[in-house]
Structure 1
Amino acid sequence: MKRITIIAAAGAALLAGCSGGNADADGNGEVTVKEAANKAEAEGLKPEPGLYKTTVTMTGLNIPGMPPEMEGHGAGLTTTTEDCLTQEEVDKGFEEMVKQGQNGECTYERFALTGGKLDAVMVCKSEGRNVRMEMTGTTTATSADLTASMAMEFDGAGEGTMSFTAKHERIGACPAK
């Protein structure tokens, strides 16, 4: 679940500063994290430094071979984390922020954000498998409220899916060290 939280938070952090238009700068049909980050920075929008709370609530789970009595298992499970986004991290830019949450390479199949409304599909390659996450919702420089569905291959069992909501919000200044 922590990996999901990281991906959702990283996607929310990157998308919080982007706006509409085509982020596919090289026209190859994929929007790389670097292209999306460049688009966000070109718009002059950056997330504010501070303490952020991310709450991820699982709304559905379908794993190949899962017994019928397990249907609905995990639905409603909520995980909340708090992370500090420092001024130094903000100054490094969106690309570095998103890379912190990845163990693999990610690109976007679709990347649109207009008037704070998000519609994106992120595909990550991690540990030899593809993970595809569709995200919709709203986002600002200090928050994101997303609904997401993630599909991934399970070794030898086929494709499974998980759906969840993610709420990412700035809750104050980072604690003093």
Structure 2
Amino acid sequence: MKHALAALPLLALLAACGKADGELEPGNWKNTMAMTKFDIPGAPPEVAARAKAMLGQSQTTEACMSEDEARAGVRTMSNSMQQGQCTMEDFKQGGGTMSGTLVCKGAGSFGAPKMAMTGTYTPTKVSMVMSGEMTDDKLPGGKASMEMTLTSERVGDCKK
């Protein structure tokens, strides 16, 4: 009971702000993903050049975030990366920062079986960095390391 009473001022403060920690603004969101690191130690020059050419290339999409999705917030946005046989483990958020580990069985959607995720968020912007290592006998040296950034930013109202 004491703990419940101690939490009341915090809940009142959050209610006064109008948004819970991690809650986002509904509307049209622009999502950009870019590879920022892709190293293959021991790769022949032509393979290393192809890996380097991938750096800086980005993919951008836009999507309308409903009020319910926005209220569900950062945790739900991070969980959306759980495609195929991938799950987000050890997810933590609070005070504008978040972290977790994306674990994929099989090849995985992102290429590495386990990727560390760190990020920041406000009600109108979410930024994440994901990094991990791949091991595969087909790779020169048997492994590669990669890092990518994912940025989602509210860019206006949803298009009708």
What TM-score, normalized to structure 1?
Answer: 0.57
Partner residue in 2 for 1:148: 130
Q: 2:56 aligns with which of 73, 76, 84?
A: 76
Shift of 1:156: 4.5
Shift of 1:169: 0.8
User: Which amino acid in 2 is paired with 1:163?
Assistant: E
In structure 1, distance between residues paired with 2:77 and 2:58: 27
Shift of 1:45: 4.7
Report 1:30-69 matches (<5 A).
45-63=22-40, 66-69=43-46
Shift of 1:44: 6.7
Q: 1:112 aligns with which of 58, 79, 92?
A: 92
Report 1:148-167 matches (<5 A).
148-154=130-136, 156-157=138-139, 158-167=142-151
Shift of 1:88: 5.2
Residues 145 and 104 (structure 1), Cα distance of their counterparts in 2 relative to 1, 3 Å cut: same
Conserved 8 A contact 1:89-1:97: no
Give the structure with the larger helix fraction.
2
**Greater C-alpha radius of gyration:** 2
Residues 78 and 151 (structure 1), Cα distance of their counterparts in 2 relative to 1, 3 Å cut: same
Shift of 1:96: 9.1
User: Which amino acid in 1 is paired with 2:56?
Assistant: G
Determine if the alignment matches structure 1 residue 170 to structure 2 residue 154: yes
SS at match of 1:73: helix
Residues 144 and 97 (structure 1), Cα distance of their counterparts in 2 relative to 1, 3 Å cut: closer
In structure 2, distance between residues paired with 1:83 and 1:96: 12
Residues 107 and 148 (structure 1), Cα distance of their counterparts in 2 relative to 1, 3 Å cut: closer
Count of residue correspondences: 133
Q: CA RMSD in A?
A: 3.3
Residues 112 and 164 (structure 1), Cα distance of their counterparts in 2 relative to 1, 3 Å cut: same
SS at match of 1:48: coil
Unpaired runs of at least 5, structure 1: 1-42
Identity of aligned residues (%): 34
Q: 2:116 aligns with which of 126, 134, 141?
A: 134
Partner residue in 1 for 2:84: 103
Residues 134 and 87 (structure 1), Cα distance of their counterparts in 2 relative to 1, 3 Å cut: same
Conserved 8 A contact 2:21-2:95: no
User: Which amino acid in 1 is paired with 2:83?
Assistant: Q
Shift of 1:123: 1.4
User: Which amino acid in 1 is paired with 2:58?
Assistant: T
Shift of 1:103: 1.0
Shift of 1:116: 0.8
